[in-house]
Amino acid sequence: MAKADFRAAQREPEPTFDCMFKILIIGNSSVGKTSFLFRYADDSFSHSFVSTVGIDFKVKTVYRDDKRIKLQIWDTAGQERYRTITTAYYRGAMGFILMYDIINEESFNAVQDWATQIKTYSWDNAQVILVGNKCDRDSERVITPEKGKSLADQLGFEFFEASAKENINVRQVFERLVDVILKKMAEGGDTDPSITSGTKTTRLTDTPPELPKNCAC
Ligand code: GTP
Ligand code: MG
């Protein structure tokens, strides 16, 4: 090995990120969870519907105040038969995107149940954004933005309407979620380093975090 290469190998590896947030996308089948994630992570969209089996995830790095934040985004299956598997992943999640479809009343009526699932299987400080997806199909809508906002207020969630198809508010939803998680962390003051630690010891765990503190963010 050349001297220069040897010296480089001896050096501390460059940290790849400062914080890691585990985020879940939940909601009824066909509301557009997978499409929303693909739009965000890959800037792609498909008209075909391939219902998710179980759970899948993608990783995306965002930058906030000069900090690299790694988002581990879990895309859950909306179908009832996968509920036992998917709720097992709620532990340790710091944020949820709870999605309904503005042209599907049943998916909106199910929001309360999904919120209860979060309360049951997640930790108290998990942040939630309610998203009414498919706002590009405005002429077919059965849920008004006012109705969505009112339910979000009632549940104490933030609210957006979005379209994975037309790329409306997709990035904004994720960025807002990151911001509210960071805000909660700043308010809370305590941390579980296994979830949110800085550069060297970060690892993923399913242990639900206490309010993060001393995070490098
Ligand atoms: P499950 O995996 O079964 O839980 O469904 P899902 O919520 O992941 O739904 P998916 O993303 O697979 O989308 C369902 C269908 O809705 C697909 O045919 C998508 O092309 C379509 N779709 C998703 N988002 C939008 C959107 O914003 N606008 C329109 N018009 N169609 C969308
Ligand atoms: Mg899916």
pLDDT of residue 5: 53
pLDDT of residue 130: 99
**Exposure b/e, 80-103, CB count within 10 A at least 16 = b:** eebeeebbebbebbbbbbbbbbbb
Query: pLDDT tens digits, residue range 69-107?
Result: 999 999 999 999 999 999 999 999 999 999 999 999 999
Tell me which of 2-6, 111-115, 201-205 is least confident.
201-205
Ligand 1 pocket, Cβ-based, cut-off 6 angstroms: 29-35, 46-49, 51-52, 77-79, 133-134, 136-137, 163-165
pLDDT of residue 12: 52
Provide the token pair at 156.
């104490």
Query: pLDDT tens digits, residue range 44-59?
Result: 999 999 999 999 999 9
Distance CA 37, CA 40 (A): 5
Ligand 1 centroid to Cα of residue 74, in Å, is: 16
Supply the mean pLDDT for the chain. Answer: 86
pLDDT of residue 207: 42
Which residues are CB-neighbours of 161 under 8 A, at least 6 positions away?
Answer: 102, 131, 132, 133, 135, 145, 148, 168, 169
Ligand 1: which residue has its CA nearest to atom 20? 47
Q: Cβ–Cβ contacts within 10 Å for residue 37, how many?
A: 24
Query: pLDDT tens digits, residue range 164-184?
Result: 999 999 999 999 999 999 999
